[in-house]
Structure 1
Amino acid sequence: MEFLKRAEIQESDQSADTEKIVKDIISNVRSNGDEAVKKYEETLSNSFRPLKVDEDEIEESTNSLSPEIKTLIERVVERVSSFAEAQLECLTPFEKEFGPGIRMGHKIIPIEKVGAYVPGGRFPLLSSGPMVVAPAKVAGAKQIVACSPANYKGGIHPAVLYGLKCSGADHIYAIGGAQAISAMAYGTETIPEVDVIGGPGNRFVAEAKRQVFGKVGIDLIAGPSEILVFADETAEPKKCAADLLAQAEHDPNARALLVSTSRTIATQTIEEVNTYLKEFSSDSPAHESWINMGEVICAESMNEGIRICNEIAIEHLHLHLKDSRSIMDQFTNYGSIFLGADSSVVFSDKVSGTNHTLPTQKAARYTGGLWVGNYVKVATHQEITGEGIEYLADHSTKQSNVEGLEGHHLSAAVRLSDM
């Protein structure tokens, strides 16, 4: 393994400061409700507007959109919803007999109150709202509360707002940052308390989700975007470079990595990235991202390349290989995998239907991305009758004796005495 380009910044050590700032915000919002939320919106976001987005504002905002933009958003909602519906079909309730008189199973129960966080970011991402809200709607949530920063002319960008409404959000609030997560977790005079919070965000949002976990459920903690392009000698450097920069432009802290079994392809891709960047606007985050976070690695073999990919556990793994599908199963740690050079990550970012809220910072080692399953509970049930009572009660009394648990022994024994 050889690095042709290393990241200038290996880690951003802001965790201690971020943790304290967020802890104070959560405590204040929990104690002071709307008053605290408004204070943070004013001081951190320069927003002095009402917290809730009412129907008149939604209608006015919707009317400002062209029919073409509305169609694009509606298509995203339809495709994300369709994929979520297909996933939900895989979650099957069941009940069966596990011995005479012992029936057990599970049910799939929707989570009732969902909080959806949709970042404002540098660009109005049309797909962000549907990605978080549509799966919750498909899952059967009774109430969906959505928060997004008021960073567009004193409100939420019309395209983002329309996406939230089309996806099924019941209440929409122009609030961002850790204060939004806090408000949804604990509730305020205006903002309903929820049961689970989904959606990506900056380091303050991610830290807030980490700190409120337990009080509410969360989907996952998703940070700045990541991509690893794995290329062999058949790859096209121009496509590799374009795919790297598409994710690099999300955030200055985004990570764009190339792993290649071909030194020639790796070198040419670096050249193409530098050529493309000359045409990017000077304020594009892609410049800083590539300089500070970008990496290019030459692998000695395909096996070593696969090992590197699995160790990095990237958010987006894009295989620019001669036959990606034949080795797909050898990759085990990724948020979402893209098979073949033309399966652009951008398609998933926008409209293909798979969710673009995915694990970062090696979280792909233990979780996948946001999906309809984040908004349901798999709850078990059992019914014990007849021979099942005698069998289980006999075992339970004996085990309780060994454990020294008198109450457990009693609860099982009274069933035996009834028989």
Structure 2
Amino acid sequence: MVQFNDLPRGVTQLRAPARSAAGDTGSVAELVTEILDAVRTRGDAAVADYARRFDKSELAVFEVTDAERTAALAGLDQQTRADTEFAIANVRRFAEAQLATMLPLEMEALPGVHMGHRVIPLETVGCYVPGGRYPLLSAPIMTIVPAKVAGVDTVIACLPPNAHPAMIAGCHLSGADRIFRIGGAQAIAAMAYGTETVPQVTKIVGPGNAFVNEAKRQVFGPVGIDQLAGPSEIYVLADHTGDAEMIATDLLAQAEHDVRTRVGLITTDAKLAAAVEAEVKRQLTELATAETAAQAWRDYGEIAVCDSEEAMIAYSDLIAAEHLQVHTQDAQAFAKRLRNYGSLFIGELASVVYSDKCSGTNHTLPTMAAGRYTGGLWVGAYVKIATHQWLTPEGVNAVAPPAVRQSASEGLDGHRRAAQLRLDRLQAR
């Protein structure tokens, strides 16, 4: 997490965040540990207990039946279904194009030394689909569709018991093989350890609240996870050509997600900085979700003015924002100079909202500066690249002698013997 005093040279904060989004999660680790232990030892019974406790749910059966899937699908109005299928098609198209860049490999590195790799889909993936305050119809699309494109054998979806029926329809249309009405840390536990009804998965993906995030952190190891997701983030990089109304609109579009959303403007134009702050205040007077967005802006909003493009880029790369928009005179050229971000939106016509909903790139992205070392969820997260090798006698003659010598110098006699045995057998022939 970037600290407020970690400013590169040439950067001045006109408006600094009042709080740290990374430090405002509270202590949830102890409760999550309790939930994980209970589900691991008591299975479905513990899941039911926590469903009653946290979700006020008395479900006797967690899995969504085929009839319930059909009913949820029938409950979608025609336009919502068409829009959902439009988004699914776009996400699938992009994931298929990404997968096409990941190819098997076979090569002869040395005469007689053959090696390569395979692109192997994971067996079972668990997709956590958050409920939230609104039915986020894009959420299942972003986690389930790339898994199916990758060739995952079984895709499990878990969503809170009180999730909107449209979310079940979204999971179904996206291709989920099984859907469970289980939310929170108990859903992560059920997928990580398996219960009487929920199969154990190989990897868990998808965003959630602080309890879901902590549960993913604690189960990591025996199962994989995509990433640890913090509150949403958006930053806009702009020069004198920036449009204050458009920038303010995009900042507030993300701020309405959550009161802990981190929003910011980094600019080389002090006049634009002042205009954006004024425009944010104006738009908050008419925004239907202003209660949430205003709190996010008050606590986590930031405006920084830089004395050069170099300072603007340095500060942006330090923050490594989840969503990064470029509103500069030559946005394409400027974008090529950026290094750290979750997803990049080049030019003022490329709004984060398009990616959030339906354009095709994935909206499950790194937060809290994780964009310095990783990208977002993509089709490659659902496969593994596993290497292999095979040798001919000529290959053994090439690699065994240096392997024998290296093993001997390291004092690893077992290694030396394993390398020497094949060489001796070949020489004896």
What TM-score, normalized to structure 2?
0.95
1:3 and 1:296 in contact (8 A); partners too: yes
Report the counterpart of residue 119 of structure 1 in structure 2.
Answer: 130
Deviations 1:250-300 (A, max 9, x none): 011011111111111111111111111111236641111111111111111
RMSD: 1.2
Report the counterpart of residue 50 of structure 2 in structure 1.
Answer: 40
CA distance in 1, matches of 2:219, 2:312: 38
Report the counterpart of residue 196 of structure 1 in structure 2.
Answer: 203
One-letter amino acid of the counterpart of residue 425, structure 2 = D
* Paired residue secondary structure (2:110): coil
Give ranges in structure 2 of 5+ residues lacking alignment: 1-10
1:6 corresponds to 2:16: yes
Deviations 1:385-404 (A, max 9, x none): 12111111111111111111
2:22 and 2:368 in contact (8 A); partners too: no
CA distance in 2, matches of 1:280, 1:37: 39
Report the counterpart of residue 418 of structure 1 in structure 2.
Answer: 425
State the 1:11 CA deviation. 4.2
Deviations 1:313-344 (A, max 9, x none): 10000011111111222211100010001100
1:405 corresponds to 2:412: yes
CA distance in 2, matches of 1:120, 1:290: 23
State the 1:159 CA deviation. 2.1
Deviations 1:40-68 (A, max 9, x none): 11111111123111111111111111111
* Paired residue secondary structure (1:98): strand
User: Bigger shift: 63-72 or 354-363?
Assistant: 63-72
CA distance in 2, matches of 1:262, 1:21: 47
* Paired residue secondary structure (1:334): coil
CA distance in 1, matches of 2:16, 2:264: 9
2:21 and 2:260 in contact (8 A); partners too: no
2:233 and 2:321 in contact (8 A); partners too: yes
State the 1:363 CA deviation. 0.5
1:319 corresponds to 2:326: yes
Report the counterpart of residue 165 of structure 1 in structure 2.
Answer: 172
CA distance in 2, matches of 1:96, 1:77: 37
Report the counterpart of residue 30 of structure 2 in structure 1.
Answer: 20
Deviations 1:356-390 (A, max 9, x none): 00000001011100000110010001011121111
Report the counterpart of residue 64 of structure 1 in structure 2.
Answer: 75
Given the superposition, is the C-alpha separation of residues 168 and 113 from structure 1 closer, same or farther in structure 2, using an over 3 Å criterion? same
State the 1:126 CA deviation. 1.2
Report the counterpart of residue 375 of structure 2 in structure 1.
Answer: 368
1:30 corresponds to 2:40: yes
Report the counterpart of residue 264 of structure 1 in structure 2.
Answer: 271
One-letter amino acid of the counterpart of residue 43, structure 1 = R
1:133 and 1:144 in contact (8 A); partners too: yes
Report the counterpart of residue 114 of structure 2 in structure 1.
Answer: 103
2:21 and 2:300 in contact (8 A); partners too: no
2:256 and 2:290 in contact (8 A); partners too: no
Counterpart among 302, 307, 313 of residue 295 in structure 1:
302
One-letter amino acid of the counterpart of residue 137, structure 2 = L
CA distance in 1, matches of 2:219, 2:83: 34
CA distance in 2, matches of 1:409, 1:79: 54
CA distance in 1, matches of 2:113, 2:387: 13
1:90 corresponds to 2:97: no
Number of corresponding residues: 415
* Paired residue secondary structure (1:96): strand
Given the superposition, is the C-alpha separation of residues 282 and 213 from structure 1 closer, same or farther in structure 2, using an over 3 Å criterion? closer
* Paired residue secondary structure (2:368): coil
1:249 corresponds to 2:260: no
1:256 and 1:290 in contact (8 A); partners too: yes
Given the superposition, is the C-alpha separation of residues 282 and 310 from structure 1 closer, same or farther in structure 2, using an over 3 Å criterion? closer
Report the counterpart of residue 350 of structure 1 in structure 2.
Answer: 357
Give ranges in structure 1 of 5+ residues lacking alignment: none
State the 1:10 CA deviation. 2.4
Report the counterpart of residue 282 of structure 2 in structure 1.
Answer: 275
